[in-house]
Amino acid sequence: MRGFTYGGFIALLALGGCAQAEPASQAPLTLEREIALPDVKGRIDHLALDVAHHRLFVAEIANGSLDAVDLANGQRRRITGLAEPQGVAYLPALDQLVVACGGDGTVRFFNAATLTPVGSLKLGSDADNVRVDKANGLIAVGYGSGAIALIDPVRREIVRTISLPAHPEGFQIDAAKGRLYVNLPNAGAVAAVDLAKGTVLARWPAPHHLNFPMALGAEGQTLAIVSRLPAHLSVLDAASSAVHLDPSTCGDADDVFRDAKRQRWYVSCGSGKVEAFSETAAPLGFVKTGSGARTSLYSPDLDRLIVAVPAGWTGGTARLLVLKPED
pLDDT tops 90 at residue 127: yes
pLDDT tens across 152-183, in order? 999 999 999 999 999 999 999 999 999 999 99
What letter would DSSP give residue 8? H
If phi over 0 gives left and psi between -120 and 50 gives alpha, with beta otherwise, what is residue 12? Answer: alpha
Neighbours of 110 (CB within 10 A): 22
Neighbours of 249 (CB within 10 A): 26
Q: Which backbone phi and psi does 208 adopt, to 5 degrees?
A: -150, 180
pLDDT tops 90 at residue 13: no
Can you tell me the distance from the alpha carbon of 250 to that of 233, in angstroms, rounded to the nearest whole number? 9
pLDDT tops 70 at residue 11: no
pLDDT tops 50 at residue 150: yes
pLDDT tops 80 at residue 290: yes
Can you tell me the distance from the alpha carbon of 270 to that of 309, in angstroms, rounded to the nearest whole number? 9
pLDDT confidence of residue 314: 64
| DSSP-derived secondary structure for 58-111 | EEEGGGTEEEEEETTT--EEEE---SSEEEEEEETTTTEEEEEETTTTEEEEEE
How many Cα atoms occupy the beta-carbon half-sphere of 257 within 13 Å? 23
pLDDT tens across 16-68, in order? 333 334 444 578 999 999 999 999 999 999 999 999 999 999 999 999 999 99
Radius of gyration of the chain, Cα coordinates, nearest whole angstrom: 18
**Percent of the chain scoring above 90 in pLDDT:** 90
pLDDT confidence of residue 225: 98
First to last CA, the chain: 30
Can you tell me the distance from the alpha carbon of 163 to that of 266, in angstroms, rounded to the nearest whole number? 30
Selecting from 2.130.10.10, 1.20.58.740, 3.40.50.800, 3.30.930.10, what CATH number does the domain 36-171 have?
2.130.10.10
What integer is the mean pLDDT of 212-232? Answer: 97
What H or E segment, with its residue span, contains residue 136?
none
**pLDDT tier at 315, thresholds 50, 70, 90:** confident
Q: Which backbone phi and psi does 11 adopt, to 5 degrees?
A: -65, -40
pLDDT confidence of residue 15: 35
Class of domain 207-327: mainly beta
pLDDT confidence of residue 20: 36
What integer is the mean pLDDT of 218-234? Answer: 97
pLDDT confidence of residue 7: 40
pTM: 0.91
User: What SS3 class is residue 252?
Assistant: coil
Q: Which backbone phi and psi does 12 adopt, to 5 degrees?
A: -65, -35
Pick from 29, 34, 28: which is nearest to 14 by CA? 34
pLDDT confidence of residue 6: 35
Average pLDDT, the chain: 92
pLDDT tens across 230-267, in order? 999 999 999 999 999 999 999 999 999 999 999 999 99
**Percent of the chain scoring above 70 in pLDDT:** 92
CATH 2.130.10.10 region(s) of the chain? Answer: 36-171, 207-327
pLDDT confidence of residue 1: 36
